């Protein structure tokens, strides 16, 4: 299937910054090359194309009347390091295929169709994820001034090199009246659909997330002369802290997860007791109440650890994403489309992973379609999908758009009357 083949094409240079694996950070040369190719595909599908002030690529297929509000279909084009081919781009490619299908049929709707490829969902370059969907949703009243990547390059510098002035960043915001709904297709990133033998599933909501940077400060000293009883070993304290975090999540609600994904040790010499350690902490749950209770439990446990080990622990919040329920009416339309295509009731799931859809919910009603992925693997080169499943997803999306257009027309007539 073409959508699958295109995802595979985008997984290698020049669309990847790395030669041996996929890494496409926001505002990189690989990102720029990807935008150029996706723009060409959008044009071939029958869309006009533009790039917004945040570096998102947007294709538009007009509705029955010019300048109609749009049904926005999208996902992200950036990736984590050593990524798989489908997390993000598959949703964009499926949006392109939907438009190509309707353009070939010369079919238009009471709304325009727009396909958007977000520039930064993963947060793999700058410390905040979903940066560009936040801009589109109007959640950034001011341009971010102080963000820098791990190489010390500021967001302002990266944007300037991309030909996008930071002062214009907030102009990516879309007026709510311009968007009637948002639809995102995405690989499940979990094993449920595969275990149940289903090609697709309908998302009912996206879990709440917290992201923190935890810094533990002890005292660096000589590894051969500092007695064990006198050490203030920041790394040993961090190791215990990580186990506490793991145990908190294991003993919590079924939908609670906590992850330490990155750790930095200083001074990082084999003959020096570590004096300073920083690590990331990601906590997620289906509801804010469960997530917040777990974070408070972790805070209290790390405070006790700090007293016991004579170190200091600083916890700085970097991100707070509320849980995002999918729109009930859109979810019903999507479920109906699944049933019409597969002849089976739609499997409903909660997404533990974050998606641009949870941000876009602040702008417009949103819904999500999950596509089965092999063994639930994601953020890994082993990420894989079945072309037949992707074709099923496309048929579901096409049917969803047609069904939604029917209800949209009825609503319009009722409003006019």
329 and 182 in one domain?
yes
Domain count, the chain: 2
The pLDDT value recorded for residue 254 is 84
Phi, psi of 320, rounded to the nearest 5 degrees: -135, 110
173 and 27 in one domain?
yes
195 and 46 in one domain?
yes
- Non-local (6+) Cβ contacts of 78 within 8 A are 24, 25, 26, 31, 88, 118, 119, 120, 121, 122, 124, 125
ω into 14 cis (within 30 of 0) = yes
In the DSSP assignment, the letter for residue 354 is -
The pLDDT value recorded for residue 409 is 56
The pLDDT value recorded for residue 365 is 97
The pLDDT value recorded for residue 410 is 43
Residue list for the binding site for Zn(2+): 76, 87, 122, 186, 379
Token pair for 177 = 């009246």
294 and 228 in one domain?
yes
123 φψ region: left (φ > 0), alpha (ψ -120 to 50), beta (else):
left
Low pLDDT (below 50) residues in the chain: 410-417
> Given 321, 351, 383, which residue is the final one in a domain?
321
327 and 315 in one domain?
no
Domain extent, residue 166, equals 2-206+323-416
Residue list for the binding site: 76, 87, 122, 186, 211, 271, 284, 379
Residue list for the binding site for allantoate: 211, 271, 284
For residues 338 and 346, give the distance between their C-alpha atoms in angstroms, rounded to a whole number: 6
> Given 273, 306, 321, which residue is the final one in a domain?
321
> Given 321, 350, 385, which residue is the final one in a domain?
321
19 and 116 in one domain?
yes
CATH for 259: 3.30.70.360
137 and 169 in one domain?
yes
352 and 305 in one domain?
no
Q: How far apart are the first and last CA of the chain?
A: 44
CA 254 to chain centre: 22
298 and 166 in one domain?
no
The pLDDT value recorded for residue 141 is 87
For residues 315 and 309, give the distance between their C-alpha atoms in angstroms, rounded to a whole number: 17
276 and 133 in one domain?
no
């Amino acid at each position: 299937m073409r959508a699958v083949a295109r995802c595979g094409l985008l997984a290698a240079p020049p669309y990847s910054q790395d030669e041996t694996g996929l890494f496409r950070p926001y505002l990189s040369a690989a990102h720029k090359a990807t935008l150029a190719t996706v723009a060409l595909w959008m044009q071939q599908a029958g869309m006009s194309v533009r790039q917004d002030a945040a570096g998102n690529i947007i294709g538009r297929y007009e509705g029955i009347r010019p300048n109609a509000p749009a049904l926005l279909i999208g996902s992200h084009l950036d990736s984590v390091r050593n990524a798989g081919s489908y997390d993000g781009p598959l949703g964009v490619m499926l949006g392109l295929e939907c438009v190509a299908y309707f353009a070939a049929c010369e079919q238009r709707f009471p709304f325009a169709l727009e396909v958007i490829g977000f520039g930064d969902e993963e947060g793999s370059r700058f410390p905040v994820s979903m940066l560009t969907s936040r801009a589109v949703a109007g959640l950034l009243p001011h341009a971010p001034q102080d963000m820098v990547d791990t190489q010390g390059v500021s967001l302002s510098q990266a944007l300037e090199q991309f030909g996008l002035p930071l002062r214009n960043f907030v102009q990516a915001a879309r007026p709510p009246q311009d968007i009637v709904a948002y639809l995102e297709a995405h690989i499940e990133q979990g094993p449920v659909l595969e275990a149940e033998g289903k090609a697709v599933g309908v998302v009912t909501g996206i879990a709440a997330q917290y992201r923190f940077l935890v810094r533990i400060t002890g005292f660096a000293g000589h590894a051969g002369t500092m007695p064990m009883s006198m050490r203030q070993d920041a790394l040993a304290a961090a190791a215990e802290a990580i186990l506490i975090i793991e145990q908190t999540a294991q003993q919590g609600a079924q939908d609670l997860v906590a992850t330490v994904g990155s750790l930095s040790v200083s001074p990082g010499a084999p003959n020096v007791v570590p004096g300073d350690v920083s690590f990331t902490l990601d906590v997620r749950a289906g509801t804010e109440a469960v997530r917040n209770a777990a974070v408070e439990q972790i805070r209290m446990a790390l405070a006790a650890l700090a007293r016991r080990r004579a170190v200091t622990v600083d916890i700085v919040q970097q991100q707070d994403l509320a849980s995002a329920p999918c729109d009930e009416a859109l979810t019903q339309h999507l479920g109906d489309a699944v049933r019409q295509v597969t002849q089976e009731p739609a499997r409903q799931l909660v997404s533990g992973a974050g998606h641009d859809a949870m941000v876009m919910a602040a702008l417009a009603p949103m819904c999500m379609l999950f596509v089965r992925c092999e063994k639930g693997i994601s953020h890994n080169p082993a990420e894989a999908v079945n072309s037949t499943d992707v074709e099923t997803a496309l048929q579901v999306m096409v049917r969803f758009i047609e069904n939604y257009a029917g209800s949209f027309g009825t609503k319009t007539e009722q409003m006019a009357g």
